[in-house]
Amino acid sequence: MTTSQSPTFDTFKGLFNESEFVYRHLGSNDDKQAAMLKAVGYDDMASFINDTVPEAVRLKKEIDLPLAMSEHAALAKLRKMADKVTVNKSYIGQGYSPVRMPAVIQRNVLENPGWYTAYTPYQAEIAQGRLEALLNFQQVCIDLTGLEMAGASLLDEATAAAEAMAMSKRMSKSKSTQFFVDDRIYPQTLDVIRTRAKYFGFEVVVGDFELAKSGDYFGALFQYVGTEGDVKDLTDVISAVKENKTYTSVVSDIMSLVLLKSPADMGADVALGSTQRFGIPMGYGGPHAAYFAFSDKAKRSAPGRIIGVSIDSEGNTALRMALQTREQHIRREKANSNICTSQVLLANLAGMYAVYHGPNGVKRIATRIHAFATAFADVIRNANDGKLSVVHDQFFDTVVVDCGSENLATQIFENADNVGYNLWRLSATKLGVAFSETSDQEDFCVLTQLFVSKSHDLPADASVSLDAAHLRTDAILSHPVFNSYHTEHEMLRYLKSLEDKDLAMNRSMIALGSCTMKLNATSEMLPITWPEFANVHPFAPLDQVSGYIDMIDSLQEQLKAITGFDDVSMQPNSGASGEYAGILAIRRYHESLGQSNRDICLIPMSAHGTNPATAIMMGMKVVVVKTDDNGNVDIADLTAKCEEHSDNLGALMITYPSTHGVFEEGIRVMCDLIHEHGGQVYMDGANMNAQVAIMQPADVGADVLHMNLHKTFCIPHGGGGPGMGPIGMQAHLAPFMANHTLIPVHNAQKGCSAVSAAPYGSASILPISWMYIAMMGRDGLLEATNLALLNANYVAAELKDHYPVLYTGKNGQVAHECIIDIRPLKEATGISESDIAKRLMDYGFHSPTMSFPVSGTLMIEPTESESKEEIDRFVEALKSIKAEALKAKAGEDGWTFDNNPLVNAPHTAAMITKDEWSYPYSRDTAAFPLPYIRNNKFWPSVARIDDAYGDKNLRCSCPSIENYM
């Protein structure tokens, strides 16, 4: 530990200081920790931990990890893995394409902590920049699909298709349990649909258009463009199936929609797909933002988040997340989906791609891609040897060539690999060539040489070979935002203006309970833009990606050492997806024993909303277990429920430490009880920041656990995504992890279908967690956990005389987060937890988690990365707010229940600088309630938002530019 004393430099070990990063990551040194320990009543860390973490769960050994590495050493080690990755030019297609991310967007959004360290925009007044960017994204999706509404992104194309299936059942009037899928769909999408359909009790029927027209289906899903690149007008088949009360969805290539007739014009109810082609690197599979567009009548059945336009208390246009009553944290087992993390950062990038290029720019790119494919097809058709033929007349970017013989196809495929090009092998004789934004003259020469033994130059004229009937005639991207920022200066300033409206972690602590907003170190972030990690196709030949696999395997070994599990699946690309994958493994395990009847899932009352939603999606029946007055699971009730459902008990879903922020003493007893009755224990890893190196989930009896890499392991929240939720499993569950139809996942069994589109989920962000663990090392991870626990207990100790701390362990300690009860203050003064959240904005802070897991509370998690000084500022703000509430109650200085700084918060610069000031408190009190604020004032860009107005007048498209003025 660093201290206030001058260090001595008398050994080379000290001079090299390999563990320096540990002390860059931790917020407080020895002296500050000693002061905090004293405040919570302890002289040393060991005694504090002994009283905080139950002896029954504590690990009696060191975790099996190396010691800390310096930042440069860890980067060098990762660089060696990256050097083993061959980045061929990709012409594979199949839903993934090479792109060019505009440098101004890469530097100022993707690589900018003002964008990537922000939290989900639940506190809309301090998230207007992100919300505007997401509204732009929704407008892109609305324009290109032709539908009335769009959400703010889903996880990937395949899971979005599965969500469309579930939504079709909610919306369809058909009594059928059959779901039709176009046989032209991407294999990875079908794989995920089949996983989801099984436990919904749906039958998936795959076939051609004639089968679609003749069957009885509640929903139908069509691919546009097909997996072989063929373009077919879906108007007639959609019209025919809709006559049978079938709800129709179309999976559409977002770039092709710049040229092609929209799904809405063909009659589709839903359009979905990936926006990866709008400037997002392939990243060996992700993360990428999926889009999901739908009609107005489906708005309450649609999955995921919707950004809507509302007004603030001053009557100004303001944005917010709309219709939140649809979400899993409100509706729980009745939710539309278990989606929690979306892909906000990636949606922002894709939306900004459209802003920067504008309608003419994206049309130029889409036309160039198609013209490349047309010119290549012409060369093949004009070849005189008669061996090659172009399979489809109508295509957008992909030309499928039938080589006439397996030998010739193999020769071309291998020759392409030898000169650095990846093609797609569709069959023994068919090869696919998918052109992209990055295709150039050199590529055209090489590809034509490979196929016809003669290099051809691009023709002078670019041709569009699509029939006029396939082309769209309506205008796209006509809103001013897509026609205003096409020079770099304009774009740079637009991005900066949005960033300045948002409060992210580069400004102040975000002390959200359960969400673990910790440092996302720069060295962790650097590798995600390395070409070897960013520019690789997820279906590239395995011999080209050995270094990528080495990195993934190495991270798996790190996570196994931390959790104690026998195996880890890296496929789930969010925490909710990890929950789903974990319960899926449990259900498959029971089925392997002939016990498919085990469909009862026990879930404590305190659980995350995703837990019951996930269980329902997996076809399980949720049985709620009571919690006691201390927030612990009621073991007597758990015992009774186990006995009542013993024959059919499938799983217990439990969060540890509890959602109430307490280490429950009885966790081993609970796990043993479930096992005695034939069930399995799923542990929710949301609170894993309190576990690492102190305890192991596998050791206390968990069978499977999901790990939020965007919480405990430092992948940034990105404004609400990306995330990763790999699962650790005991040996008996490991064979039932998700596999992949195209790229087999080692250790997974054949027949175990996928939960995400790519074999390793959002692989390109995995280096972040690898770097974090490598740089912290065995001892650093333990120090981080200790300090996370100390910081939370310090907050609780400093606030307990001002706000009741709702739950503690048997020695009076909390875990890594604490819940303060606002209900007594509200009863006494009328000031609510929402008022406190809004007033904290004036103090320069984001609110803690509000009304979860208990209504009328705030849940605070400072993490190990925050300094004592920052925590003290936050504590001082909450104390000051309490004093303000009491002043309003007393009616001092003319303050009243309905006119005081809390109920009027937040205060914008426009409010403060009005000529007339009608409040009973000063402008200084409104804007600068404590002295430190003057040095780093953050101004909310809008006043308090009217949520009810936004839901009653729902609008999820861009307002005219005048609304922002």
Integer CA distances (angstroms), 163 to 244, 251, 285, 289, 411, in order: 21, 12, 19, 14, 41
Range with the lowest mean pLDDT among 531-540, 622-631, 954-963? 954-963
**Residue 366: band (very low, low, confident or very high) from pLDDT cuts 50, 70, 90:** very high
- Among residues 787, 563, 776, the alpha carbon closest in space to that of 67 is found at 776
Relative to beta strand 247-252, strand 219-224 is: parallel
Per-residue pLDDT tens over the stretch 34-68: 999 999 999 999 999 999 999 999 999 999 999 99
- Report cis status (omega within 30 of 0) of the bond before 853: yes
Residue 638 above 70 pLDDT? Answer: yes
The whole-number average pLDDT for the span 440-468 is 97
Relative to beta strand 600-604, strand 424-425 is: unpaired
- Among residues 945, 944, 912, 915, the alpha carbon closest in space to that of 928 is found at 912
Residue 212 above 80 pLDDT? Answer: yes
**Residue 327: band (very low, low, confident or very high) from pLDDT cuts 50, 70, 90:** low
Is residue 728 helix, strand or coil?
strand
b or e along 744-767 (b: 16 or more beta carbons within 10 Å of the residue's beta carbon)? Answer: ebeebeeebbbbbbbbbbbbbbbb
Tokens of 678: 């034939």
Residue found by looking up tokens 């994204």 in the block = 137
Q: Using CA atoms of 727, 730, 735, 739 in order, give the dihedral in degrees to the nearest 10.
A: 10
Could you give the CA distance from residue 917 to residue 936 in angstroms, rounded to a whole number?
A: 24
Range with the lowest mean pLDDT among 546-560, 592-606, 618-632? 618-632
Neighbours of 475 (CB within 10 A): 8
Q: Using CA atoms of 361, 362, 368, 370 in order, give the dihedral in degrees to the nearest 10.
A: -160
Could you give the CA distance from residue 281 to residue 763 in angstroms, rounded to a whole number?
A: 11
Q: Look over the chain and give the mean of its residue pLDDT values, rounded to a whole number.
A: 94
Q: What is the pLDDT at residue 332?
A: 61
Per-residue pLDDT tens over the stretch 271-316: 999 999 999 999 999 999 999 999 999 998 999 899 999 999 999 9
- Report cis status (omega within 30 of 0) of the bond before 225: yes
- Among residues 376, 389, 511, the alpha carbon closest in space to that of 456 is found at 376
Is residue 550 helix, strand or coil?
helix
Residue 435 above 80 pLDDT? Answer: yes
pTM: 0.96
Could you give the CA distance from residue 748 to residue 584 in angstroms, rounded to a whole number?
A: 13
Contacts of 699 (CB under 8 A, 6+ apart): 57, 59, 564
DSSP 67: P
Could you give the CA distance from residue 915 to residue 897 in angstroms, rounded to a whole number?
A: 25
Q: What is the pLDDT at residue 964?
A: 45
Backbone torsions φ then ψ of 592, nearest 5 degrees: -65, -20
Could you give the CA distance from residue 954 to residue 694 in angstroms, rounded to a whole number?
A: 48
Backbone torsions φ then ψ of 159, nearest 5 degrees: -70, -30
The whole-number average pLDDT for the span 857-865 is 97
The whole-number average pLDDT for the span 759-769 is 98
- Among residues 301, 412, 283, the alpha carbon closest in space to that of 345 is found at 283
Residue found by looking up tokens 């009847």 in the block = 597
Which residue(s) pair with 621 in the sheet?
600
Q: What is the pLDDT at residue 789?
A: 98
Q: What is the pLDDT at residue 949?
A: 81
**Residue 1: band (very low, low, confident or very high) from pLDDT cuts 50, 70, 90:** very low
Contacts of 846 (CB under 8 A, 6+ apart): 119, 123, 126, 503, 508, 509, 510, 511, 512, 840
Which residue(s) pair with 434 in the sheet?
398
- Residues in the chain, total: 965
Residue 852 above 90 pLDDT? Answer: no
CB 115 within 8 A of CB 134: no
Contacts of 651 (CB under 8 A, 6+ apart): 583, 586, 601, 602, 615, 620, 674, 679, 680, 681, 682
Could you give the CA distance from residue 351 to residue 347 in angstroms, rounded to a whole number?
A: 6
Could you give the CA distance from residue 655 to residue 607 in angstroms, rounded to a whole number?
A: 7
Q: What is the pLDDT at residue 111?
A: 98
Element spanning 143, H or E: helix 128-145
**Residue 2: band (very low, low, confident or very high) from pLDDT cuts 50, 70, 90:** very low
Q: Using CA atoms of 118, 124, 128, 134 in order, give the dihedral in degrees to the nearest 10.
A: 80
The whole-number average pLDDT for the span 321-333 is 63
Beta strands across the sheet bearing 704-707: 567-569, 727-729, 704-707, 680-685, 649-655, 600-604, 621-625
Residue 338 above 70 pLDDT? Answer: no
Per-residue pLDDT tens over the stretch 924-962: 999 999 999 999 999 999 999 998 887 777 777 777 655
Contacts of 175 (CB under 8 A, 6+ apart): 218
Could you give the CA distance from residue 401 to residue 417 in angstroms, rounded to a whole number?
A: 17
DSSP 710: T
Per-residue pLDDT tens over the stretch 680-696: 999 999 999 999 999 99
- Among residues 367, 353, 440, the alpha carbon closest in space to that of 397 is found at 367
Per-residue pLDDT tens over the stretch 801-845: 999 999 999 899 999 999 999 999 999 999 999 999 999 999 999
Could you give the CA distance from residue 97 to residue 676 in angstroms, rounded to a whole number?
A: 50
CB 610 within 8 A of CB 660: no
Could you give the CA distance from residue 807 to residue 803 in angstroms, rounded to a whole number?
A: 12
Residue 329 above 70 pLDDT? Answer: no
Could you give the CA distance from residue 760 to residue 756 in angstroms, rounded to a whole number?
A: 8
Per-residue pLDDT tens over the stretch 107-148: 999 999 999 999 999 999 999 999 999 999 999 999 999 999
Residue 219 above 60 pLDDT? Answer: yes
The whole-number average pLDDT for the span 658-666 is 91
